[in-house]
Amino acid sequence: DTGVSQNPRHKITKRGQNVTFRCDPISEHNRLYWYRQTLGQGPEFLTYFQNEAQLEKSRLLSDRFSAERPKGSFSTLEIQRTEQGDSAMYLCASSLADPNQFFGPGTRLTVL
């Protein structure tokens, strides 16, 4: 287990297209988080899972965004009808029942 992995690492898409990102957490971690980071800012919380249950969603997460963690292992984050303002780095993190979060390398999204 080499830590949290995210795929793809980079995604370029045209405005209006749908995109899906995947996060594979550290295997024994039951908590999984998604963050978004834009240039010059720190990561912003998007949503959080404990096992397969989505426990909290930020109001930043519009109805175009949906996240799932169907079996309590990997998670997907989908953005529908992408907009240029969605361009950012999308970070995934996982943890045990402890606030110490282990981060993935991120997926950089560019919306043209």
Partner 1 sequence: AQRVTQPEKLLSVFKGAPVELKCNYSYSGSPELFWYVQYSRQRLQLLLRHISRESIKGFTADLNKGETSFHLKKPFAQEEDSAMYYCAPNTNAGKSTFGDGTTLTVKP
In the complex, the residues that contact partner 1 under the rule CB under 8 A are 3-4, 31, 33, 35, 40-45, 48, 55-56, 91, 93, 95, 99-106
Q: Work out how close the CB of 40 gets to partner 1 at its nearest, in angstroms, rounded to a whole number.
A: 7
Query: Of 4 and 79, which CB lies nearer to partner 1 in the complex structure?
Result: 4
Q: Work out how close the CB of 17 gets to partner 1 at its nearest, in angstroms, rounded to a whole number.
A: 27
Check: CB of residue 90 under 8 Å from CB of residue 45. Answer: no
CB atoms near residue 70 (< 10 Å): 9
Query: Of 13 and 87, which CB lies nearer to partner 1 in the complex structure?
Result: 87
Q: Work out how close the CB of 109 gets to partner 1 at its nearest, in angstroms, rounded to a whole number.
A: 17
Query: Of 11 and 29, which CB lies nearer to partner 1 in the complex structure?
Result: 29
In 3D, which of 98, 103, 89 has the Cα closest to residue 31?
Answer: 98
In 3D, which of 67, 35, 74, 34 has the Cα closest to residue 51?
Answer: 74
- Owner of token pair 């959080």: 48
